[in-house]
Amino acid sequence: MSHFTKEDLLLFENVLENMQQRNFCRVSEEKFIQKTDVVLDFVISTNNNGIIQLGKKNFSCQLTRGAYREMEYIVKELLKNKLEGFQWLYDLNTSIDFLLSKDAKW
């Protein structure tokens, strides 16, 4: 995720916070995401699997509630301007990474 505003980050933080009560969120339909034909869903899982490609343009981020809570913490720290550069949103050995960068430099 890149080229975001503070408002975008606040909305993303809200999505992550809501994952503590929900089991699913179609992130690609949230208003802070630029619309494309790619689908990304956040799903609560018993394991941290990261982002998995389910189809040509269909992806599922399968993490535990704790992992979504850790993402929320990273976003909160970014909102406080305590973090610079890019931030990994999870640290898993997977083929698809997930990171935040204000200026798309990584």
Return the pLDDT at 25.
98
Residue 64 in this model has a pLDDT that exceeds 70: yes
- Residue-wise pLDDT for 82-105, tens only, equals 656 788 899 999 999 998 877 666
Query: What pTM, to 2 d.p., does this model score?
Result: 0.89
pLDDT at 4 over 80: yes
pLDDT of residue 1: 81
8 Å CB contact between 58 and 12: no
Mean pLDDT throughout 74-82? Answer: 86
Would you kindly state where each structural domain of the chain is located, as residue ranges? 6-100
CA neighbor of 98 nearest in space, from 67, 65, 56, 55: 67
